[in-house]
Amino acid sequence: MNGEKVLVVGGGAGGLLVSNLLVGDGREVTLVTNNPEHYFQPANLFIAFKGESPESYKRSVESLLDPKVRLILDKLSKLDLGNRTALTERGKRLEYDYVIVAAGARMDYNSLPGMKENFEMFGDYYSSPEAAVKVWNTVSRMKNGKLIIGVPDLIIKCPPAPHKGVFLAAEFFKKEKRDVTVELLYPSPHIYTEAELAKTIESKMKSFSNIEYRTSFLIDSVDKDRKVVIGMNGEEIKYDALVLIPFHKGPEIDVNPAEARDDDGFIKVDKRKLNITSYDDAFAIGDCNNAPTSKTGVAAHLGAFVVWKRINGRNAEYSGRTNCPLITDDEAIFVISDYDHKPVGQRFSRLKRLMEDLFVAMYFPSLRYPRKFEPIFDVYFNATEPNILGEKGW
Amino acid sequence: MVEEKSDSKSTEKILALLERPEMEEAVANLAELLIAMNESGLLDLLKVLADRGVLESLMKYLMTPDFLRMADKLDKYVHVLEESGEILITEEKARTGIGGLLKAMRDPDVQVGLTKLIKLLKFLGTVKEQ
C-alpha cells in the first residue's frame, strides 16, 4: 500500500475521516477543499435559534487532519474517472490510484421563485454559519407574528432539521414570552416521511401552544412584497419571517463520464459498497452520492469507514444506517433506520438529548482520531441497530 | 505535508489566553489539582480510560438495548419509585377488609392498578421459568 496515491475531495466529516484513516495505513493521501474551515453543521440550529457563536463550532481543516495528509486549498473542477486524473480550478493536475469524493451537497436557491431573495433577506440554517446568524438576527428581534419554516423538497440534509428548527424557535419565543407562532409547511402527507415516527413528532408539536403545521403543502413560490408563501393549490399563507430549506443538488464538479451523476448531479454509487458505478477505484460518500438514505453526518461517517476497509481488501458494506437526532431544548429522539428497516419507534427523552450533547462534544476529536473512536461508536451503533431495537423501539 | 497552510489561529489564541491576568491563579490551581489527582491514582485511571480500551469495555457493558431503554425512562422510574416508596414508608391508619376491598374495586384507578399487577405477576412467572 506504500506509495498508493489517494485523492480525497472535500473537507467535511467524510473527507476528513477517510483521509485520516487511509494516511494511517501509509498511503499518500491528498485532500482538496476550497474551504479552509470545517464547521459542525448541526450547530447552525444553535446559532439560528439560540444565538450561539459560530466560532465555537468551527475548526481549521488543517487542525483536523493528520499532518501527513497533503492539503490543497483549491476547488476541484474536473474529475476524469477513466484516466484517474483530476484538475483543480487553479490548474493543478492530480493523479490517483483511488479517489473518494466527499464534496457534500450544493444548495440550490434558484428552483423556486422567490427563494433566492428570501434567503438573502432571512438566511437559513442549512448553508453556512453566517446564514444561520442571519436567522438569529430576525428571530431575536421578532416580538409577535408568524415565523414559517418551509420545506419545498424532501431530498435534504438531516431530514428532521426542519422540525428541530420549529421546536427550538418555539421554545425561544415561549421562554421570552413573545407572541410569535412558528409554523411548519411540510410536503408529505404526515409531519414526517415515516408515518409512525410522524405520530410521535406530531404529539410533541401539539404540546406546544405556539406551534402550527400543515402537511401535504407543496410550496410553489414566495411573494416577498406581500409576504406570502404560495402553495401549488393556490393557497396563500402570510408570514412575518420565512426560513426556507433550500433544494439540494450534487457538487459542482465536472465528472467524466457524465453518466456517473444522476439528473440532480448526485454521484451514482453502489448503495452498499459506495463505489462509483462501474469503477472499483472511485468512491463517493456522504451527501454527494445518490444512496437512498438520509443525507446526514452519520452516513458520511459510516461511509468513510466502509471505504477505508474496502480499500484495505475487507468486505465492508454500508447498511444505510441513519441516526439523525431530532431535538427540542430538553429532549430528543433519534431517527434510526437502514435500507432494510423503517425508523424504529422512539419516545422523546432527556437521555437522548444528553447523548446528543456528548456526541457534539466528541465531534471534532472523533474526526481527527477516528481509529480511537471507532470501537466506541461501533458499540453504540451495534446496540441500536434497527433490527436489534425492533418492535419495542427505544 | 501541508502545501498551503492556513493561518494558525490556535497559537494566537493560546498566547492571548496566557496573557490574561487570571491565568496565573488558574495554572496554579490546575497544578495543585494534577498533583492531587496523581497522588490519588485518578490520573492513572484516566490514562487507562483514554488509552487501554477500558472505555470500550464499559461502553459494551452499558450499551445494550435493555440498558438504553431503561436509562431512557429512568426519570419515569424514579417518579414511580418515589411515589410508591412514600406510600410504603408512611404509617397507614386505615384498615381495609373484604367490604372495603369490594368497594375499592369499583375505583377505575384500582382496576387499572390490578391489571398492571397481574401483568407484572405474569412477567415474574416467565422470569422464574427462564
- Which of A36, A349, A388 shows the shortest C-beta gap to B6? A36
Report, as an integer, the average pLDDT of A329-357. Answer: 94
The span from the CA of A85 to the CA of A87, in Å, is: 7
Interface test with B, best of A323, A349, A391 (most B CBs within 10 A): A349
The span from the CA of A307 to the CA of A165, in Å, is: 33
Q: Is the pLDDT of residue A142 over 50?
A: yes
pLDDT at A125: 97
Phi, psi of A367, deg, nearest 5: -75, -40
The span from the CA of A34 to the CA of A72, in Å, is: 8
Cβ contact B6–A376 (<8 Å):
no
Cβ contact A351–B69 (<8 Å):
no
Cβ contact A379–B2 (<8 Å):
no
Residues in A closer than 8 angstroms to B64, CB to CB, are 383
Handedness of CA B66, B71, B76, B81 (dihedral sign): positive
| Identical fold, A5-105+250-389 and A108-247 | yes
The span from the CA of A103 to the CA of A212, in Å, is: 36
Average predicted confidence (pLDDT) for chain A: 96
Ranges of each domain in chain A: 5-105+250-389, 108-247
The span from the CA of B130 to the CA of B125, in Å, is: 9
Kindly report, residue by residue over A87-124, the tens digit of the pLDDT.
999 999 999 999 999 999 999 999 999 999 999 999 99
Kindly report, residue by residue over B114-129, the tens digit of the pLDDT.
999 999 999 998 886 5
Among residues A260, A363, A311, the alpha carbon closest in space to that of A29 is found at A311
- Domain A5-105+250-389: top CATH class: alpha beta
Q: Is the pLDDT of residue A2 over 90?
A: no
Q: Is the pLDDT of residue A238 over 60?
A: yes
Q: How confident is the model at residue B4 (pLDDT cuts 50, 70, 90)?
A: very low
Interface test with B, best of A7, A37, A60 (most B CBs within 10 A): A60
pLDDT at B57: 85
How many CB atoms are located within 10 Å of the residue A86 CB?
Answer: 24
> What percentage of chain A exceeds 90 in pLDDT?
97
Which residues of A fall below an 8 Å CB-CB distance to B?
Answer: 36-37, 60-63, 65, 67-68, 70-74, 347, 349-352, 375-376, 379-380, 382-384, 388-389, 392, 394
- CB hemisphere CA count around A144 (13 angstroms): 1
The span from the CA of A358 to the CA of A251, in Å, is: 31
Q: How confident is the model at residue B1 (pLDDT cuts 50, 70, 90)?
A: very low
Q: How confident is the model at residue B50 (pLDDT cuts 50, 70, 90)?
A: confident
Report, as an integer, the average pLDDT of A151-162. Answer: 96
* CA terminus-to-terminus distance, chain B: 61
Kindly report, residue by residue over A57-67, the tens digit of the pLDDT.
999 999 999 99
Cβ contact B72–A347 (<8 Å):
yes
Chain B residue with Cα closest to A332? B72
Q: 3.40.640.10, 3.40.50.720, 3.90.550.40, 3.50.50.60: which CATH number matches A108-247?
A: 3.50.50.60
Q: How far is CA A135 from CA A129, A173, A185, A228, B104, in A?
A: 10, 14, 17, 18, 58
Residues in A closer than 8 angstroms to B68, CB to CB, are 351, 383-384, 394
pLDDT at A225: 96
The span from the CA of A213 to the CA of A218, in Å, is: 13
pLDDT at B85: 95
Cβ contact A62–B5 (<8 Å):
yes
Q: Is the pLDDT of residue B6 over 50?
A: no
Phi, psi of A136, deg, nearest 5: -60, -40
Q: How confident is the model at residue A1 (pLDDT cuts 50, 70, 90)?
A: low
Kindly report, residue by residue over A310-333, the tens digit of the pLDDT.
999 999 999 999 999 999 999 999
Residues in A closer than 8 angstroms to B65, CB to CB, are 383-384, 388-389, 392, 394
- Which of A72, A379, A394 shows the shortest C-beta gap to B4? A72
Interface test with A, best of B1, B2, B51, B123 (most A CBs within 10 A): B2
Kindly report, residue by residue over B52-98, the tens digit of the pLDDT.
678 888 888 888 999 999 999 998 999 999 999 999 999 999 999 99
Residues in B closer than 8 angstroms to A379, CB to CB, are 56, 59-60, 63
ipTM of the complex: 0.74
